[in-house]
């Protein structure tokens, strides 16, 4: 803990006291035992605002050990402001090693994305969750939605998806697309794009979801079946992009649209910054990119 900054002196390793960590770990264990079930937990007030990742931060703080290597991403990127802020928080309070390399990390805290690289069994993916209840916008009352989950009564959700098909010809839900976990609970995957949904299915990594303001923790244990809700005649389809990444040429990654001028100019680049950088380091070059580190030949 040599790197612990001045103003964090006096706080425990990873900020939370051990009693609180124990309470959170119990909730996590229960969540793992009942995949997809939202476990209420006594969420604490954190030194960053609700809605800015307090649930994910509490889960990370509860599972982090001194030998862990932490990666924090927001929108897939390591250098977005809130990802920077959360990474610094753990650098200061836990003094753990941090990384931007997906493969090197043992704990990855994320907001809105799953890294492109396939996660491994020794890794834990911690999601920041704003609204953990997949049925919330169909039924605002917690008393009601808990009953619906208990009875596995998901007709409302199917009707909602069907109405989309009747109205638009397809399901008009592009992120936070509901999934069925281990044949039992319908679960909100947090606002990841539906592009990422298939990565949750039978992932080797443990996936933990923390919702601080709503005081819920849930989990997908490794190698668990995670199915995006759909209909036989309208099967789930992940978003596809019509063009490759302009920097690294990847055709299999999620892309952000970047507006480059005020005349309608735009380009598409990988949202996963580490994925893009490592591809460029390997020599892949997109339409507007330049090769990374080992300079081979100048791109356009």
d(CA 44, CA 37): 20
288 binds other proteins (CB under 8 A): yes
Q: Classify strands 255-259 and 266-270 as parallel, antiparallel or unpaired.
A: antiparallel
Interaction mask 132-171, other proteins, x per CB under 8 A: --------xxxx------------------------xx--
Q: Which of residues 5-34 bind other proteins (CB under 8 A)?
A: 11, 17
Q: Which of 36, 53, 56, 289 is catalytic?
A: 36
Tokens found for residue 92: 């200061």
- Distance between CA 53 and CA 43 in Å, rounded? 12
* Rounded distance between C-alpha atoms, residue 78 and residue 111, angstroms: 11
Smallest gap from residue 148 Cβ to other proteins (A):
14
Binding test (CB under 8 A) with other proteins, winner from 135, 181, 246, 285: 246
Report in angstroms how near the CB of residue 118 gets to other proteins at its nearest.
Answer: 19
Binding mask 173-202 for other proteins (x = CB under 8 A): -xxx--------------xxxxx-------
Cβ atoms 54, 126 nearer than 8 A: no
Identify whether the C-beta of residue 63 lies closer than 8 Å to the C-beta of residue 44.
no
> Distance of alpha carbon 175 from its chain centroid, rounded?
11
- Is 271 a residue that touches other proteins (CB under 8 A)? yes
Q: Is 10 a catalytic residue?
A: no
Q: Is 284 left (phi over 0), alpha (psi -120 to 50) or beta?
A: beta
Minimum distance between the CB of residue 44 and other proteins, rounded to whole angstroms?
5
Q: With contacts defined by CB under 8 A, name the span among 119-127, 150-158, 202-210, 285-293 that binds other proteins.
A: 285-293
Using the structure block, give the residue that is written with the tokens 């009875």. 151
Maximum alpha-carbon separation in the chain: 62
Q: How far apart are CA 72 and CA 285, in angstroms?
A: 26
| Cβ nearer to other proteins, comparing 27 with 107 | 27
Give the position of tokens 């996590």: 28
Active site residues: 36, 245, 248, 270, 276
The residues of the shown chain that bind other proteins, judged by CB under 8 A, are: 11, 17, 40-47, 49-52, 54, 74-76, 79-85, 88, 111-113, 130, 140-143, 168-169, 172, 174-176, 191-195, 213, 215, 239, 241, 246-247, 254-258, 260, 267, 269, 271, 273, 288-290
């Amino acid at each position: 803990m040599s790197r612990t900054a001045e103003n964090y002196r006096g706080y425990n390793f990873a900020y939370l006291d051990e009693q609180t960590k124990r309470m959170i770990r119990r909730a996590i264990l229960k969540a793992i035992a009942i995949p997809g079930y939202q476990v209420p937990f006594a969420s604490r007030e954190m030194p960053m605002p609700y809605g800015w990742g307090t649930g994910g931060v509490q889960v990370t703080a509860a599972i982090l050990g001194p030998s862990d290597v932490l990666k924090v991403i927001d929108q897939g990127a390591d250098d977005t402001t809130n990802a920077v802020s959360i990474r610094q928080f753990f650098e200061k309070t836990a003094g753990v090693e941090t990384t931007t390399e997906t493969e090197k990390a043992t704990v990855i805290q994320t907001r809105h994305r799953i890294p492109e690289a396939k996660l491994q069994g020794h890794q834990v993916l911690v999601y920041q969750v704003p609204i953990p209840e997949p049925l919330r916008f169909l039924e605002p009352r917690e008393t009601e939605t808990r009953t619906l989950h208990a009875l596995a009564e998901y007709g409302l959700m199917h009707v909602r998806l069907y109405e989309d098909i009747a109205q638009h010809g397809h399901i008009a839900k592009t992120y936070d697309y509901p999934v069925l976990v281990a044949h039992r609970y319908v679960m909100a995957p947090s606002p990841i794009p539906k592009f990422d949904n298939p990565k949750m299915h039978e992932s080797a990594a443990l996936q933990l979801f923390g919702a601080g303001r709503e005081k819920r923790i849930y989990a997908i244990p490794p190698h668990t079946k995670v199915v995006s809700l759909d209909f036989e005649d309208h099967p789930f389809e992940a978003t596809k992009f019509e063009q490759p990444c302009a920097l690294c040429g990847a055709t299999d990654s999620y892309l952000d649209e970047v507006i480059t001028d005020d005349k309608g100019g735009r380009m598409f680049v990988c949202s996963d910054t580490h994925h893009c950088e490592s591809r460029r380091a390997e020599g892949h070059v997109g339409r507007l990119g330049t090769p990374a580190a080992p300079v081979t030949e100048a791109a356009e």
